[in-house]
Structure formats: structure tokens, C-alpha cells
DNA sequence: ACAGGCCTGGTTTTT
DNA sequence: CCAGGCCTGT
């Protein structure tokens, strides 16, 4: 058994797995098998050490990582040990989900509503705006977003509202908002994401009895991505491990890229200070990339001052060259990427799914999408609109949440007039004000308006107003509503009260269905449009998620469901099945790997980002980001920058990124810039031609090369609407020729056409058939070094430029 | 209630 | 340039 678990591990990994007692810090380079080590260690603890499953806690940052770990542990153990996040078995989960569970179980000691709801950023912002209104502060002057970030920062540092030290006027405002916000959240029975961590940590800090219970239970702690912990998380882990010190932390300072949300890679150092007897294990062997790629990564990260020196090694050999390419502008950059991908695919050196294009900011995806769509290359864009952020989903969840926790005013306000029930803004505002006066939640207020003095909403409400406990009422108090408003409010209340009464007897799916039907939401949503049907389909998807909870005990299923949807993002179930090019930011690429990686936008002020230029610490983070990006690549790496780029509607010349300078001198890195190509085979080589995006102007032509000189681009094209499936070229519309006719002669950046001895397969006027676009007519065809580039106009699908070796074009 | 015009601000993101 | 918020007018 032990052999099984240790088989295939290298000596360092093996040591990490088997060093069971005491604090262990594993510094794990990218691709060094850290997930493997974590899973094997859990299996080892259970199987060889004989630890009971309930004594083991493994903490990750993302659901995806937690899921992977569960799966791998399950595989190692042959599924014989119950792997669950439940109380009985192993605890494997994210910081947030584990904390949510602890707070649910310890609602009493933690002073929380056991039915608390979790607010996401949007709902949090609503609560902050409420706080600003209560404090009569101007939203324009004190941006809610700024307040949110100040409050979040305080919480990450475990600073309570009453401990908040304001050193500036702004901070004083933030302090007051923080205080008021906390009151509002408590009245609503709501916690934000930061609260989950800080409240748990405060609970353990302040209640020794609770702390000891958890310390006694969890003999073995494992923490992934330790460099991403913030102060609250670090403290939480420290507390939990306080008794046994059997704390196993895996991290890599060099991959810390989340400082902006409170992560502090120095926690890795602090680990060694706080646990001086800790054993440090380095995992430097990389199983992912070629040596050339690792050399580039090492060259980047070696310039950071604050790090434990490490050097990645592989036994994969040098591998292929790393390509540095200079493009003319963002369109040329995108065209270069797409062509390179098509070339690799046509030669079967890679599949579309092997290829990833990474960029610093989301806005950069646009030109890439344009190029992919234009050339009919399927792709997926990671990080688009998320399922749980969609309006219909948020509405449905707000209904469910309100039924679960009627104190939740934010959810009430979201749904009270959706669909329209003649309860306008003024009525809602009056209800909010009057309910607060009465010391009840808004649902409590509705109960009073409806004359229902026995409503549970009147007794369960935590209040922040004068009356701390709700007095027994003999008669409903006078309310400010006119007869019509009263009628609407009462009708809404009766409906809601019925759902609340029925909730325990129904499955979540049934409750959801009942709510969407009786509220009129379903009818309202399905307005006959295609969009309405899409949204309805999304609701059905939510319902099928809810159905997973049918078998839970009745009193738990709604709680469990709401918790899951609050803490899970569909990023986690990021489908990898289809063969498409992946577009994603470097941040979202962390933890992933691809055989072929393109890093685009390698220009000063783009990457490294302009906001990081002044601050050496932020510049180090940019460097780590570049390091993460490079180390995603297994076999092929392309580093691309553009000579000029349009940002915020302004086109400017950008200097190549310093990161390129760091990498360029290395052996195995080839700088095949377009300008070099131009010099070697001459600017006069070819005349115009309509397939834009891949040519350079001559120097003397630069002045004329203004946006207006190359016609309109994509200004009429709106982005394809998001759907449940990633976009493909199939639904795209074509655009016109991007370059204005008759403009000056240009050189091609592409390799020169193959010499004489080849004949094009296609010529202008040929009728062809394409699997995706149907029939079309060839406009022109040109040979390139290794393929033939055919421009075809398709009926109703516009004009596409395709590679004959890649697209399945057939003459008809 | 909603369309349309004006203004503003625009890293990175999980939970 | 362009998305999202806010205001105004129907």
C-alpha cells in the first residue's frame, strides 16, 4: 500500500509526502508536481499513518483545486475512504467553504444568524450604498467601490470597525462606512466573502473552547498556494495548527500574483519565523516545460530581489526555440498569432485545444477575437459573463434567499418588483424607512402592513434600530402607505409568506419552480424573444443544480444549496472538452498548462502595466506574472509585442517590454521580428492586396499610416452575444476589407512566398465548399512558405481568408 | 417603465 | 474606443 502511494515520486516529493510530524514548508516551482504531493500526502496520512479522515483538513483557494484534490485522493485510495467535505469524513475545501461551514455550525458562539446568506460583490456594493445613504454621504464623492476596497482591506488585516485607525479624512469616511456597513450586514443576516474568513478567525481567537475543539479534531493540516494567503487566512491556519503543529504548506513566492486582493507572499517567510522548527523542502524539478522555456522563466524571475533563490530544471532537453515577434499593431499581432496557430494545426504539430493566448488585461482579447472570427478559428474566451452573475439567476437566487432568510433586505429589494407589481421605488424606499423605524426587517414591515402579527419575520429579525428585541404587538402600527400601495405590498407579502411556510416541505427544485411560477417570474421572463428563452434555459439549469440537493435532509438542503451557489463559480467547471483555442488573462491561466502558449502585448505600460511602473514591489509582481505566464508553456512559446497599439481610442507607439530584453539574449530564443524580415527581402517585394493585418509600412510611409488611412475597422461590428457555449466563428459576421484601397505600397511581414515550383490549388473565380461556411467564390489565392492562403467570399457569411492546408476547402 | 443621450472612467479576480 | 451609470423625456 505504501508502495502504491509513494510510487513514482521523486526524492523531494517523497520527503514532502512522508514528513508527517511538525511543520513542513514546500516551496514548489511551477510544474513540480505539488498537487500530486498534496494528494499523495493525504492518502499517506490515511493509509500509512492511519490518521482518521476526520482529523485531516486540506485547504485550497479554488473549488477547482479542491475538486482535483478530492478526485486524486479518491483515486489513490480506491474510493474506499469517504471523501467529502462533510463533518464525518475528510475536510477538503476552499478557505471560504470551510469557514462557511464552521460559521454555520458555530452560529451561536459566532453571534450569527444560522441562516445567514452570503453576499457577493454586487450585493455588498448595494449594502455599502445603503450605508452611504444612511450616513448622508455623496456616492459621487465617496465611490462605493473605493469604500468596498477599504473595508475589504481592513478585514483582510483582521481590523474590526472599532479598531479602524483613520489617518486621513478619506479613511475617516471609510471608517464610518465600515461601521454602518457592518450594522447593515448584521441586520440583514448577511456575510460577505471577507467575513467568512475574518469571522471564523475572530471566533477562534476569542473563544478558546471553540478553538480547542477544532484544534483537537484537525491533527493534520494541509494548505495549498500558501503565497496567496492574506493575514486573516494565515492567522486562521496558525490557530488551527496551534496544538499539533502538523502544518503542511505548499507555495511558491514566485507565483504570487494576487497582492491586489490582499495576498501576501511574505506569509511564506513568516511561516518559517512562526514555526522555527519547520522543515523546508524545495521542489525544483519541472515536469512540464522544455529547458529553453525554463531558462526564459528563470531569466525573468532571477531579477526579483525578494525571493528564495530557486532554479527550475527539467530533463526534457532544450526543446524548440522560443520565438519573439514584433508585430505592427494589435491587428497584426492577432493575425500573427492566428496564422501561427493555423500553421501548427495544419502540420499536425498541435491541435487548437493545445494553444492558449494570454494577455495582461481583458480588453486585449478583442483584437484576438476579431482575428479568430475572421479566419473561422474556434476559440473559447475564459472569464466572460458568469452563469451565477446572470440576471435571471441572481433574481431566482434572491427569491430563494429571501425565503431562507427574510431579514435579507437586499434580496427583497431585488425581487419585490420583478416582475412589476406596482411597487415602485418610492414605495420601496418608504417601506425601507418605515421598517427601520419599526425596528424590523422589510419583510417584517410587510407583515405589519399586511396585518400579520404572527409572522416569523417579526421575531427572527436582528435589528440595529432602537428596539433591540421585537416587542409583542397587540395591533399593527400606523403605516404610511396609500390603499393601492398597501394592496400591492400585502399581495406580495402573502405570496412570500406561503413560500416561507412551504419551504421545508419542498425540495429546492420544487420550491424554485413554485416561486418562479407563482411570482409570475417565469411568464415574465419568457416574453417570446429568443433571449427570453435563453434566460429561461439558464433557469432550468439552475433548477437541475438544485436537484442535486433533493436527497439532503429537508432542514439542510436549502442552506447547502445557497451556500454552494454563493461559493462556486462556473469558472470551476470550465469545460475543456472541445478543441478550441483558449484566450485568457495570465491571472486566470495560473495553474494551467498548454503545449503552445502565446503571450501578447509585451510592451512597456501594457505588460508591465502602467500602474506598476512607480512601485518596485508592484513591478516585482508584474515580473512574477510574466514568470507564471511563461511557465504555462510545455513545448512552444511565442512572445509578441506590437510597435503601436490603440488603447482607449488612442493609438500610440509602445516600447517593447523590459521582459523581452531579459529573455532576448538567451540561447534558444529567436527574435524573428517583422522589421528584420522586411529588411532582408525588401519593402518593394509586393504590392497592396486586400488581406490586411499582416503587413508593415515602410518607414517613410509611417506618417501617412494613421487610423484614417486604413479605413474603418469593426466599428459597426458588435460583439457576438454570450451564450451558454463559447463563441465560434460559425455565428460571426464578416467585416469589410480593413485597409483602404489605393493606399501606398506595403511590404509583407510574413515569410516570402515559396519560390516558383509550386502551383496554387485555387484561383480567383473558383467555386469552393467549406464545411462551416458552405459555398463560396475564391477572390484570390497566394502561396506562403508552407501553405496556400485563399480568400473566399461566402454567401451570407462574408469574406474569409483561409489556409488551404487547414480549412477543408473543396472545389465544386 | 423604458429608450436614448450624456458623462465618466477604464489592471489583474476567487470566493 | 466603449461599457455602465445616470438623467431626462415619452
User: Any catalytic annotation for residue A224?
Assistant: yes
Q: Give me the average pLDDT of each 10-residue run along chain A (812 residues).
A: 82 97 96 95 94 95 92 83 56 96 96 94 91 88 91 95 92 94 95 97 98 97 97 97 96 95 94 94 96 96 90 93 95 96 97 97 93 93 79 92 95 92 90 92 95 82 42 79 93 96 94 95 86 87 92 92 87 67 94 97 96 94 97 97 92 95 93 55 34 40 31 28 31 26 25 50 81 76 70 70 72 80
Q: In A 309-348, which Cβ lie closer than 7 Å to strand B?
A: none
pLDDT of residue A626: 98
The torsion angles phi and psi of A478, rounded to 5 degrees, stand at: -60, 130
Decide: CB of A425 under 7 A of nucleic strand C: no
Decide: CB of A567 under 7 A of nucleic strand B: yes
Decide: CB of A75 under 7 A of nucleic strand C: no
pLDDT of residue A570: 63
pLDDT of residue A710: 30
The DSSP code for A47 is I
Decide: CB of A153 under 7 A of nucleic strand B: no
Note every long-range contact of A64-72, with CB atoms under 8 Å and residues 24 or more positions apart, other chains counting: A64/A571, A64/A572, A64/A574, A64/A591, A65/A35, A65/A94, A65/A224, A65/A225, A65/A591, A66/A92, A66/A93, A66/A94, A66/A97, A67/A572, A68/A35, A69/A35, A69/A38, A69/A39, A69/A42, A69/A224, A72/A35, A72/A36, A72/A39
Decide: CB of A611 under 7 A of nucleic strand B: yes
N-to-C CA span, chain A: 63
Please count the other Cβ atoms lying within 10 Å of the Cβ belonging to residue A714: 17
pLDDT of residue A48: 94
Rounded, the Å distance between the CA of A419 and C1' of B2 is 14
C6 closest protein residue (CA to C1') = A140
Closest nucleotide to A649 by C1' from CA: C1
Rounded, the Å distance between the CA of A217 and C1' of C4 is 49
Which bases in strand C are touched by protein, i.e. have an atom under 7 Å from a CB?
Answer: 1-3, 6
pLDDT of residue A165: 92
| Count of all residues that appear for chain A in the document | 812
User: Any catalytic annotation for residue A737?
Assistant: no
- Give the C-alpha separation, A648 to A231, whole Å: 36
Decide: CB of A708 under 7 A of nucleic strand C: no
Rounded, the Å distance between the CA of A415 and C1' of B2 is 18
Decide: CB of A527 under 7 A of nucleic strand C: no
User: Any catalytic annotation for residue A452?
Assistant: no
Which bases in strand B are touched by protein, i.e. have an atom under 7 Å from a CB?
Answer: 1, 10-15
3-state secondary structure of A413: helix
User: Any catalytic annotation for residue A160?
Assistant: no
Beta pairing class for A774-783 and A767-770: antiparallel
**Active-site hit among A4, A15, A18, A35:** A35
- Residue A371 sits at the vertex; the CA angle it makes with A795 and A323, to the nearest 5 degrees, is 140
A380: cell is: 473559447
**Active-site hit among A225, A253, A452, A621:** A225
Decide: CB of A587 under 7 A of nucleic strand B: yes
User: Any catalytic annotation for residue A168?
Assistant: no
Closest nucleotide to A65 by C1' from CA: B14
Decide: CB of A260 under 7 A of nucleic strand B: yes
Q: In A 199-238, which Cβ lie closer than 7 Å to strand C?
A: none
A516: cell is: 418562479
Rg (CA), chain A: 30
- Give the C-alpha separation, A809 to A812, whole Å: 10
pLDDT of residue A797: 62
Closest nucleotide to A193 by C1' from CA: B15
User: Any catalytic annotation for residue A35?
Assistant: yes
Amino acid at each position: 500500500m505504501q508502495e502504491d502511494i509513494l510510487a513514482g515520486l521523486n526524492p523531494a516529493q517523497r520527503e514532502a509526502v512522508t514528513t508527517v510530524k511538525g511543520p513542513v514548508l514546500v516551496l514548489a516551482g511551477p510544474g513540480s508536481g505539488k498537487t500530486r504531493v498534496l494528494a499523495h500526502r493525504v492518502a499517506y496520512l490515511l493509509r500509512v499513518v492511519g490518521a482518521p479522515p476526520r482529523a485531516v483538513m486540506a485547504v485550497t483557494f479554488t473549488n477547482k483545486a479542491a475538486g482535483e484534490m478530492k478526485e486524486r485522493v479518491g483515486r489513490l485510495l480506491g474510493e474506499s475512504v469517504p471523501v467529502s467535505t462533510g463533518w464525518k469524513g475528510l475536510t477538503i475545501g476552499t478557505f471560504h467553504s470551510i469557514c462557511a461551514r464552521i460559521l454555520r455550525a458555530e452560529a451561536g458562539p459566532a453571534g450569527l444568524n444560522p441562516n445567514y446568506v452570503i453576499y457577493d460583490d454586487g450585493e455588498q456594493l448595494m449594502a455599502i450604498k445603503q450605508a452611504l445613504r444612511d450616513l448622508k454621504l455623496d456616492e459621487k464623492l465617496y465611490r462605493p467601490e473605493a469604500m468596498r476596497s477599504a473595508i475589504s482591506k481592513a478585514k483582510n488585516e483582521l481590523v474590526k470597525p472599532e479598531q479602524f485607525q483613520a489617518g486621513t479624512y478619506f479613511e475617516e469616511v471609510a471608517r464610518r462606512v465600515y461601521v454602518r456597513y457592518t450594522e447593515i450586514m448584521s441586520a440583514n443576516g448577511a456575510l460577505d466573502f471577507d467575513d467568512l474568513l475574518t469571522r471564523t478567525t475572530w471566533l477562534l481567537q476569542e473563544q478558546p473552547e471553540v478553538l480547542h475543539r477544532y484544534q483537537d479534531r484537525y491533527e493534520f493540516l494541509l494548505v495549498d498556494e500558501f503565497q496567496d494567503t492574506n493575514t486573516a487566512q494565515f492567522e486562521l491556519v496558525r490557530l488551527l495548527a496551534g496544538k499539533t503543529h502538523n502544518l503542511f504548506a505548499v507555495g511558491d513566492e514566485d507565483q504570487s500574483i494576487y497582492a491586489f486582493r490582499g495576498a501576501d507572499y511574505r506569509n511564506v517567510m513568516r511561516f518559517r519565523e512562526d514555526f522555527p522548527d519547520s522543515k523546508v523542502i524545495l521542489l525544483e524539478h519541472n515536469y512540464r516545460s522544455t529547458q529553453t522555456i525554463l531558462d526564459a522563466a528563470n531569466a525573468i524571475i532571477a531579477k526579483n530581489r525578494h525571493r528564495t533563490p530557486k532554479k527550475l530544471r527539467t530533463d526534457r532537453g532544450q526543446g524548440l526555440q522560443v520565438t519573439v515577434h514584433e508585430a505592427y499593431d494589435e491587428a497584426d499581432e492577432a493575425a500573427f498569432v492566428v496564422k501561427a496557430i493555423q500553421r501548427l494545426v495544419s502540420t499536425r504539430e498541435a491541435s487548437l485545444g493545445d494553444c492558449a493566448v494570454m494577455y495582461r488585461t481583458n480588453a486585449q482579447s478583442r483584437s484576438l477575437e476579431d482575428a479568430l472570427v475572421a479566419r473561422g478559428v474556434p476559440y473559447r474566451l475564459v472569464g466572460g459573463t458568469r452563469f451565477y452573475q446572470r440576471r435571471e439567476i441572481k433574481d431566482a437566487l434572491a427569491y430563494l434567499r429571501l425565503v431562507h432568510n427574510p431579514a435579507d433586505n437586499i434580496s427583497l429589494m431585488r425581487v419585490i418588483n420583478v416582475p412589476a407589481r406596482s411597487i415602485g421605488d418610492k414605495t420601496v424606499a418608504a417601506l425601507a424607512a418605515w421598517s427601520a423605524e419599526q425596528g424590523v426587517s422589510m419583510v417584517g414591515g410587510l407583515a405589519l402592513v399586511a396585518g400579520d402579527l404572527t409572522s416569523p419575520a417579526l421575531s427572527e429579525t436582528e435589528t440595529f434600530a432602537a428596539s433591540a428585541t421585537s416587542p409583542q404587538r397587540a395591533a399593527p402600527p400606523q403605516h404610511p402607505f396609500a390603499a393601492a400601495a398597501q394592496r400591492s405590498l400585502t399581495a406580495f407579502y402573502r405570496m412570500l409568506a406561503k413560500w416561507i411556510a412551504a419551504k421545508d416541505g419542498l425540495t429546492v427544485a420544487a420550491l424554485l419552480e413554485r416561486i418562479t411560477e407563482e411570482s409570475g417570474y417565469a411568464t415574465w421572463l419568457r416574453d417570446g424573444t429568443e433571449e427570453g428563452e435563453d434566460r429561461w434555459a439558464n433557469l432550468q439549469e439552475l433548477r437541475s443544480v438544485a436537484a442535486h440537493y433533493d436527497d439532503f435532509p429537508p432542514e439542510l438542503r436549502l442552506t447547502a444549496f445557497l451556500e454552494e451557489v454563493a461559493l462556486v463559480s462556473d469558472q470551476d467547471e470550465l469545460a475543456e472538452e472541445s478543441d478550441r483555442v483558449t484566450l485568457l488573462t495570465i491571472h486566470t491561466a495560473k495553474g494551467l498548462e498548454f503545449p503552445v502558449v502565446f503571450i501578447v502585448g509585451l510592451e512597456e505600460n501594457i505588460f508591465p502595466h502602467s500602474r506598476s511602473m512607480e512601485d518596485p514591489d508592484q513591478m516585482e509582481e508584474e515580473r512574477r506574472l510574466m514568470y507564471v505566464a511563461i511557465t504555462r508553456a510545455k513545448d512552444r512559446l511565442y512572445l509578441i509585442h506590437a510597435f503601436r497599439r490603440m488603447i482607449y481610442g488612442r493609438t500610440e507607439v509602445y516600447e517593447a517590454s523590459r521582459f523581452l530584453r531579459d529573455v532576448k539574449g538567451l540561447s534558444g530564443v529567436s527574435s524573428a521580428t517583422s522589421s528584420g524580415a522586411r529588411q532582408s527581402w525588401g519593402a518593394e517585394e509586393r504590392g497592396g492586396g486586400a488581406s490586411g493585418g499582416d503587413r508593415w509600412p515602410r518607414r517613410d510611409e509611417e506618417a501617412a499610416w494613421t487610423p484614417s488611412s486604413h479605413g474603418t475597422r469593426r466599428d459597426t461590428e458588435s460583439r457576438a452575444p454570450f451564450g451558454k457555449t463559447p463563441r465560434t466563428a460559425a455565428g460571426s459576421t464578416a467585416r469589410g476589407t480593413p485597409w483602404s484601397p489605393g493606399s501606398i505600397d506595403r511590404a509583407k511581414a510574413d515569410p516570402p512566398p515559396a519560390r516558383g515550383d509550386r502551383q496554387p490549388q485555387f484561383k480567383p473565380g473558383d467555386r469552393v465548399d467549406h464545411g462551416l461556411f458552405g459555398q463560396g467564390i475564391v477572390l484570390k489565392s497566394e502561396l506562403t512558405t508552407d501553405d496556400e492562403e485563399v480568400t473566399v467570399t461566402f454567401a451570407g457569411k462574408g469574406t474569409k481568408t483561409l489556409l488551404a492546408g487547414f480549412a477543408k476547402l473543396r472545389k465544386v
